[in-house]
Homo-oligomer: A and B are copies of this chain.
Amino acid sequence: MTREECLTRDRVDPIAAHRGNFTLPPNTIYLDGNSLGAMPKATMARLEEVARRQWSADLITSWNRHGWIDLPLRVGGKIARLIGAEATEVAATDSTSVNLFKVLYAALEMRPTRRKILSERGNFPTDLYTAEGLTKALGNRHRLELVEADKLPAAIDDDTAVVMLTHVNYRSGALHDLKALTAAAHDAGALTIWDLAHSAGAVPLDLTRANADFAVGCGYKYLNGGPGAPAFLYVAGRHQAEFVQPLTGWLGHAAPFAFETSYRPAPGIARALCGTPPILSLAALEVGVDSVLAADAQALRAKSMALGDLFIDAVEGQGGDQLALRLASPRDATHRGSQVSFRHAEGYPIMQALIARGVIGDFRTPDILRFGFAPLYIRHVDVWDAAAALIDVVKSRAWDRPEFKRRAAVT
């Protein structure tokens, strides 16, 4: 593979034109769309519409006139198409952590005699913290058991209430077999919760065919919804009547504007809502979801896998191994999300030096250099150039400067 060949691949890329739908800064190779997706060009116009033509002009009447009240379920219905769910099974609301709290509570309620929440040791910490917080609130009747990924099937037993996993590991990018693990959980009478933070918008999903129970996910990564965009949650249609969650705010009520004294859950997914949703952020999320829906999901996945393979080949082909860059992601693209990670003992300053050169990835403690390939707007040539920059930074020890070693608040 050469840089020229990368340019050729970009010329024949069937989804190359989507890059033009995003505003990307010049002289920057952005490989952190898995932390914060790029801004669609349509977002600013939508914000202007919502702020200027709706909020400021029509004020409170916008809730009806401009359908703000429907936005959580309308955006949820669009996200449903990306994860293989019915439109009536998904709501866009709150944060991933808050949504996880809701579905984990619901799952435990549905398996009242079981005591175990099973997860992966390397799961994203907020998911584990949420389980900790809920378990404590429920009087420590449950225990959170953490095992390595390959030990999961064997750890599902008849005391397991719920298997709670992130589909794509945030550090390694390793992809769980969602369908097989869901089936294994069901065989043992357990339920499943899938955190799709690093999957939705990058890895085609079919929650219906996988017979998934619950899921949550993030709006600001591959969905391009903007910083801290509202998250989503999925409740399988068959569980909705039984779905009880503790954050019983007025928008989850069967008749929010009847102002009844007692809570009656809304029918369907609306009972997953709680308080009033942040409309500006939710409108931006809708634009982001549209930016993904505009592309063919299989073409996105094919390009995503090709970009990851290309990055591994380019780093290793240019001597990454001799430079102590060790692949921390599955080599087989079918077992990987849309990111590739390398380990290096000096990972933190290396990443800062790369960012200073305009190659933006991120660092994950203790030694992970993480590169995300958002196939909507990343080109083959970007991946090639990023690999060359990484090799050069390590080889030249360009990272070995005090300013690259100072830790920032957000890594």
Interface residues of A (CB under 8 A from B): 23-25, 28, 30, 32, 35-36, 38-39, 43-44, 47-48, 50-52, 55-64, 68-70, 94-98, 101, 105, 121, 125-126, 128-130, 132-134, 136-139, 146, 220, 226-231, 245-250, 252-253, 257-263, 274-282, 284, 355, 360, 362, 364-365, 408-411
Q: Are A129 and B249 in contact (CB under 8 A)?
A: yes
CA distance A128 to B248 in the complex (A): 9
- Is A95 in contact with B229, judged by CB distance below 8 angstroms? no
**In the assembled complex, which residues on chain B have CB atoms less than 8 Å from the CB atom of A227?**
50, 55, 62-63, 68, 276, 278-280
A48: nearest residue on chain B (CB-CB)? B44
Copies held by the complex: 2
- Contact indicator A133/B246 (Cβ below 8 Å): yes
Given known A257-B411, A277-B228, contact A129–B51 (CB-CB < 8 A): no
A259 to B366, CA, bound (A): 9
Are the C-beta atoms of A410 and B69 separated by less than 8 Å?
yes
**Given the contacts A59-B360, A227-B68, A250 and B126 also touching, CB distance less than 8 Å:** yes
A250 touches B125 (CB 8 A): yes
Min distance, Cβ A198 to any Cβ of chain B, angstroms? 14
Q: A69-B410, A94-B275 are in contact. Are A249 and B126 (CB under 8 A)?
A: yes
Complex CA gap A129/B244 in Å reads 13
User: A260 to B125, Cβ gap below 8 A?
Assistant: yes
User: Do A365 and B257 contact each other (CB < 8 Å), given the known contacts A51-B44, A97-B250, A132-B248?
Assistant: yes
The 10 residue pairs across chains A and B that have the minimum distance between CB atoms? A95-B275, A97-B249, A133-B248, A278-B281, A126-B250, A227-B279, A39-B56, A97-B275, A63-B410, A129-B263
A320 to chain B, nearest CB (A): 23
Which B residues lie within 8 Å of A284 (CB)? 51, 280
B134 and A246 contact, CB distance less than 8 A: yes
Looking at the complex, which one of B130, B138, B260 makes contact with A248 (CB distance below 8 Å)? B130
Interchain CA distance A227-B278 in the complex, whole Å: 6
A60 touches which of B24, B246, B247, B360 (Cβ 8 Å): B360
Contact of A278 among B59, B278, B410 (CB under 8 A): B278
Roughly how many angstroms separate A146 CA and B262 CA in the complex, as a whole number? 11
A216 CB to nearest B CB, Å: 10
Q: Collect the chain B residues with CB atoms within 8 Å of residue A364's CB.
A: 259
Q: Select from chain B the residue with minimum beta-carbon distance to A46.
A: B51
Asked, given contacts A59-B25, A261-B128, A410-B64, whether A249 binds B98 with beta carbons under 8 Å apart, the answer is yes
In the assembly, what is the distance between CA of A192 and CA of B47, in Å? 39
